[in-house]
């Protein structure tokens, strides 16, 4: 018993030692990652001033999820404050007079802050694909029209567990790393009920439903985020669904079997602000993706 206990103690000591070294390396790598600065060469965008474009900017701000993390009034929101990180969408009503479309675009489609550092958790890799120059300019116009809200700034920070998850690839903390900053932005696609346009919009679904859209638990996420379903045309997915079923799910949050979805898990109130053209485009694209069994991500 005693000998066993001693061996266990030695074994544990060795393990802890190795663990500490691995952890040290992890923290060092991830510190250096966050320390990396990006120099971007972005063009200024033409900011529209007509009321129709401003209204569309508001709709884009809501339907593309900005309001979820930055608040409908733009004053910011704490989205997560746990062992991996504190993630707080910044107050966009206090960006300062010299914050221009170049700085805005760097944040929105490149995940890079004004100091050149990668922003934490700001899903720029999705917006890089999903938003055109015109979209970004309209959202900028809307954000600039918001009255200032004097909320104190809550800084985002990646904590020890978050660094480990980041370096092991379990959870991406710095979306800037996922973007080819040298490449020109993808060509704008005219909004139309086509699979090509739907593919762009579907970038917003991949963080939860997976790159292959087959759902399953989100890596690194706490269980209260729920289990995203399979959106591919597989028997374990949407094979039996028609367009109307999809519209009801996206607008009213009801599944084909009538079950109500949890809006905290599946953000259908965000997608309810999508136009018919956008939802038709998404539906058209989802029918085209290769069928995959549930949970292959
Ligand atoms: C999943 C949450 C999330 C979503 C969705 C999101 N953001 Fe962010 N955003 C953040 C976080 C968190 C930060 C701050 C990161 C940091 O400080 O490192 C941020 C930072 C920014 C900044 C930089 C602000 C500054 O002070 O430099 C801008 C601009 C911004 N977001 C605009 C947008 C817009 C526009 C959208 C929608 C198209 C959007 N965000 C969607 C989480 C989000
Ligand atoms: C923040 C995570 C998240 C995002 C982003 C997200 N979903 Fe979901 N989705 C979920 C979860 C979780 C469920 C399961 C909800 C439940 O069971 O209550 C779900 C369920 C669904 C369902 C119902 C499927 C069924 O079999 O009942 C559809 C359809 C759907 N999502 C489509 C989409 C589309 C399309 C997008 C992108 C435009 C998207 N979702 C983006 C998390 C998300």
Tens of pLDDT, residue by residue over 140-156, are 999 999 999 998 889 99
Which residue's structure tokens are 């900017």? Answer: 57
Residue 219 banded pLDDT, cuts 50, 70, 90: confident
Which residue's structure tokens are 């038709």? Answer: 280
Q: Please tell me the predicted confidence (pLDDT) of residue 20.
A: 52
Report residue 147 as tokens: 């009255």
Average of per-residue pLDDT across 256-260 = 96
Q: Which one of the ligands is nearest to 274 CA? A: 2
Cα–Cα–Cα angle for 162, 81, 212, rounded to 5 degrees: 55
Report residue 279 as tokens: 């939802």
CATH class of 195-288: mainly alpha
Q: Please tell me the predicted confidence (pLDDT) of residue 279.
A: 98
Ligand 2 atom 28 nearest Cα:
249
70 neighbors 77 (Cβ within 8 angstroms): yes
Q: Which helix (H) or strand (E) holds 85?
A: strand 85-89
Report residue 104 as tokens: 């805005």
User: Does the pLDDT at position 22 exceed 90?
Assistant: no
User: Does the pLDDT at position 229 exceed 90?
Assistant: yes
Which residue's structure tokens are 């679904």? Answer: 205
**Segment 125-142, tens digit of pLDDT:** 999 999 999 999 999 999
Average of per-residue pLDDT across 173-198 = 95
The minimum-distance atom of ligand 2 relative to the CA of 265 is 12
Instruction: Choose one of 89, 106, 171, 274 to mutate for the ligand 1 pocket test, by most ligand atoms within 8 angstroms of C-beta.
Output: 89
Query: How distant is the alpha carbon of residue 164 from its chain centre?
Result: 20
At 220 the three-state DSSP class reads coil
Which residue's structure tokens are 């997915």? Answer: 237
Q: Which helix (H) or strand (E) holds 87?
A: strand 85-89
What mean pLDDT is reported for the chain? 90
- Domains of the chain by residue range: 51-178, 195-288
**Strands across the sheet containing 77-81:** 77-81, 85-89, 157-158
The minimum-distance atom of ligand 1 relative to the CA of 119 is 18
262 Cβ inside 6 Å of ligand 2: yes
Which positions ≥6 away from 172 have C-beta within 8 Å?
166, 178
More confident residue, 221 or 199: 199
Which residue's structure tokens are 């709709």? Answer: 59
Average of per-residue pLDDT across 61-90 = 95
Q: Please tell me the predicted confidence (pLDDT) of residue 33.
A: 58
Distance in Å, CA 191 to ligand 1 centroid: 24
104 Cβ inside 6 Å of ligand 1: yes
Average of per-residue pLDDT across 93-104 = 96
Neighbours of 47 (CB within 10 A): 16
81 Cβ inside 6 Å of ligand 1: no
**Segment 39-73, tens digit of pLDDT:** 999 999 999 999 999 999 999 999 999 999 999 99
Q: What's the topology of domain 51-178?
A: Cytochrome Bc1 Complex; Chain D, domain 2 (1.10.760)
128 Cβ inside 6 Å of ligand 1: no
69 Cβ inside 6 Å of ligand 1: yes
- 112, β-bridge pairs: 118
**CA nearest neighbour of 282 among 237, 252, 243, 253:** 243
pTM: 0.91
Q: Is the dihedral of CA 85, 117, 167, 208 positive or negative?
A: positive
Query: Would you say the CATH fold of 195-288 matches that of 51-178?
Result: yes
142 Cβ inside 6 Å of ligand 1: no
For residue 97, which phi and psi values (nearest 5 degrees)? -65, -35
Q: Please tell me the predicted confidence (pLDDT) of residue 18.
A: 47
Residue 29 banded pLDDT, cuts 50, 70, 90: low
Residue 1 banded pLDDT, cuts 50, 70, 90: very low
């Amino acid at each position: 018993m005693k000998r066993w206990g001693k061996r266990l103690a030695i074994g544990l000591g060795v393990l802890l030692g190795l663990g500490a070294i691995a952890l040290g390396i992890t923290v060092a790598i991830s510190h250096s990652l966050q320390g990396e600065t990006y120099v971007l060469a972005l063009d200024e965008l033409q900011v529209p001033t007509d009321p129709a474009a401003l209204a569309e900017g508001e709709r884009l701000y809501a339907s593309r999820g900005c309001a979820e993390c930055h608040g409908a009034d733009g004053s910011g929101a704490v989205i997560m404050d746990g062992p991996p990180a504190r993630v707080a969408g910044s107050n966009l009503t206090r960006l300062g007079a010299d914050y221009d479309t170049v700085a805005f675009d760097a944040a929105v489609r490149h995940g890079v802050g004004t100091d050149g550092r990668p922003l934490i958790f700001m899903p720029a890799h999705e917006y890089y694909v999903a938003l055109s120059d015109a979209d970004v300019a309209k959202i900028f116009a809307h954000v600039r029209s918001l009255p200032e809200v004097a909320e104190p700034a809550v800084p985002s920070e990646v904590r020890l567990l978050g660094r480990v998850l980041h370096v092991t690839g379990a959870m991406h903390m710095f979306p800037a790393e996922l973007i080819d900053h040298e490449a020109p932005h993808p060509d704008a696609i005219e909004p139309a009920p086509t699979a090509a346009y739907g593919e762009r919009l579907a970038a917003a679904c991949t963080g939860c439903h997976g790159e292959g859209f087959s759902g399953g638990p989100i890596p690194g996420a706490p269980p209260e985020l729920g289990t995203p379903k399979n959106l591919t045309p597989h028997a374990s997915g949407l094979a039996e669904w028609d367009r109307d079923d999809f519209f009801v799910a996206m607008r009213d949050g009801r599944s084909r079997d009538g079950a109500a979805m949890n809006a905290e898990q599946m953000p259908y109130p965000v997608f309810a602000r999508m136009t018919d053209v956008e939802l038709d485009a998404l539906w058209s694209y989802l029918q085209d993706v290769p069928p995959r069994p549930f949970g292959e991500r």
